[in-house]
Amino acid sequence: MQSNGLSQPYTRGQALPELLKQRILILDGAMGTMIQQYKLNEADYRGMPTNTRFVDHPGDIKGNNELLVLTQPQIISKIHEQYLDAGADIIETNTFGATSVAQEDYKMAGLAYEMNEISAKLARAACEKYSTPDKPRFAAGAIGPTPKTASISPDVNDPGARNVTFEVLRASYREQIEGLFAGGVDLFLVETIFDTLNAKAALFALDEFFEETGERLPVMISGTVTDASGRILSGQTVEAFWNSLRHIKPLTFGLNCALGAALMRPYIAELARICDAAVSCYPNAGLPNPMSDTGFDETPEITSSLVDGFAKDGLVNLVGGCCGTTPDHIRAIANAVAKRKPRAFYRESAEASS
């Protein structure tokens, strides 16, 4: 069994560290982009007419994609399978916003645990269907940033104001983690981080969960650079972001979303230079374009060519897609990087010399 650098072996996902040394692994693409293609209405989100559980729920719930694991699970399972068929080694649970903090917007905070457990079961079942001895598949528990920020004031006239506390975030993330674990995920992915303090609440909850249960699962961390300044929203450069979280000893560390691959390259190159973890990159399909069918302009050929450039130059260990990407994008990326060698990450050299 592989060590995660914390003196304890992984209890799930044990094969991942070795696989990352052997080849560039493939993450899936966007869940939201695929859901949008179904053009679901309010009744569809409620599961009507076959599912009457949410028929009287107050307020609009259209757009609550995490609820679909309860009301339209066949859609979520089909999307998972499309990405696996395209070549994904790792698929993400449909839980980006499945925390009580995020679900409060829909008055569904009490469903958070159930959403995570069921979503994990759907992803795990899809992985089992597509896994082979030569190509095992893994379900990553997706942990999003929530719509709130612990570092930035929502009131321009009161710099000290906050709309969420570290403790509220920690408790919300802990509930999510427990649901994902119960559903059978192989690893956890703390992603699209725009506020390092939010991420620290999630990672603290993970560490707390591991300590109390004796379980150890691989942890992947992925931030998002929000503009050409090269900083995440809470103000850190990618180097500062890495140094703030490197003590977690993540299996992978990288960037997703925001800029698209072309503008993301210098920041991935910086992480490749300084990280002693595997480097991940799953960009948007370029910049947003509301006139496009997917909301983004880049074709699979364009995105895969850009990502392949990262692989050719030895910058990455895991690649995939974020907003605007589809199974066609992931298939093109998987085919493009299949001939490339993974980046040698420094922790291997340190372990070899010790």
Residue list, annotated binding site: 257, 322-323
Alpha-carbon gap, residue 281 to 299, rounded angstroms: 17
CA 256, CA 241: separation in Å to the nearest integer? 14
CB contact at 8 A, 37 and 31? no
Quick check: 190 and 219 in contact, CB under 8 A?
yes
Are the beta carbons of 9 and 3 closer than 8 angstroms? yes
Burial 318-328, CB ≥16 within 10 A → b, else e: bbbbbbbbbbb
Distance CA 37, CA 33 (A): 7
Alpha carbons 229 and 305: distance in angstroms, whole number: 25
Write down the residue that tokens 């009744």 correspond to.
Answer: 43
> Which is it for strands 90-92 and 278-283: parallel, antiparallel or unpaired?
unpaired
- Tell the burial category of 90 from Cβ atoms under 10 Å away from its Cβ (0-12, 13-18, 19+): buried
Report how far residue 56's alpha carbon sits from residue 20's, in angstroms, rounded to the nearest whole number.
47
Q: Which residues are annotated as a binding site for Zn(2+)?
A: 257, 322-323
- Residue 19 to residue 254: CA distance in whole angstroms: 17
Nearest to 242 by CA among 346, 350, 90, 312: 346
Distance of CA 196 to the CA centre of its chain: 15
Q: Which residue has the tokens 């509301």?
A: 290
Q: Where are the alpha helices (DSSP H) in the chain?
A: 16-22, 31-36, 42-45, 68-71, 73-85, 100-103, 112-130, 166-183, 196-213, 238-245, 261-274, 300-312, 327-337, 346-353
